[in-house]
Amino acid sequence: MKFPRIYNLIEVAKLIDCDFIGDQNFPVSGMNEIHVVTPGDIVFVDHPKYYDKALNSKATIILINKKVECPKGKALLLSEDPFRDFNKLTDYFKPFNNSTTSISDTAIIGKNTVIQPNCFIGHHVVIGDNCFIHSNVSIYDDTVIGNNVTIHAGTVLGANAFYYKKRPEGYDRLKSGGRVVIENDVDLGALCTIDRGVTADTIIGEGSKLDNQIQIGHDTIVGKKCLIASQTGIAGCVVIEDEVTIWGQVGCTSGVTIGKKAVVHAQAGISKSLEGNKTYWGTPAQEARIQLKEMALIKQIPDILSDLKKIK
């Protein structure tokens, strides 16, 4: 998330009432999660296990819960609770604005686009030309939809990220200030749910086609010309490269990459990154060719044992 202007370090420190290390005029241009940070961004870290990763990331402002040596060319915001203060910044720069109409006056809708009854279109949504939005679709604030997109009934774009911190009193949600971006020529089936990014974008790439009842988690990027079949669940921060095919009821953990032109068979469980141009199945997902060969060899075991008995 980029701020509407460049702030300085002391301005941001005052917003969350915390101390800082660095030049008070150090520039702050945005806030992001660690996998998408760029210079000028704030990243938060609240566990010693991840201190080094945050301090050595591309982020130049680190919101941290311990006084540590500040890397050269960076600044620190010292917080008792970085998770809480990151939420405060989201509330400040991307506050919730309730709607009073089904289609916001700030929405921009292109030529020849059809919107069926009972749809909700939030603030600052952009929908391109020649789109078809079927009934009961909900499009949350700031979503961007390209040209020639079809969205079937009951689909929800832009719900909150499934991202929580466990506290003694219960779970504390990390607030979502990112967007959903649907590129040109995408088809979304009925009852799909695509969550907004925490601070960046969840993207469905040009020409991709999603079946019914698919869940796409926050900050996930689906490449161009991908096919994803029904009841697939993709966690947050996944990268699905171009022309990947994923068949029904596949489950995918967060933070992995599925390489270009990979094919994943139905009901596979993806627990680690997969190379492109290969076919996978099973849980954990493995290359199908190797698994089939292993299964064929296993079936030969009774015959091998029988032959051994004859030799004896």
With b for 16 or more beta-carbon neighbours within 10 A and e for fewer, the 66-92 pattern comes to eeeeeeeebbbbbbebbbbbbbbbbee
Q: How far apart are CA 264 and CA 282, in angstroms?
A: 9
Helices (H), 67-168: 82-93
- Amino acid type, 136: N
Q: Could you confirm whether 218 is annotated as catalytic?
A: yes
Q: How far apart are CA 188 and CA 218, in angstroms?
A: 17
Neighbours of 126 (CB within 10 A): 16
Neighbours of 5 (CB within 10 A): 6
Q: How far apart are CA 219 and CA 235, in angstroms?
A: 9
Considering the candidates 123, 134, 218, 265, report the single residue annotated as catalytic.
Answer: 218
- Which H/E stretch holds residue 297? helix 288-299
Cis ω before 284 (30° cut-off from 0): yes
Give the pair of three-digit tokens for residue 130: 């020649």
Query: Looking at the annotation, which residues are catalytic?
Result: 218
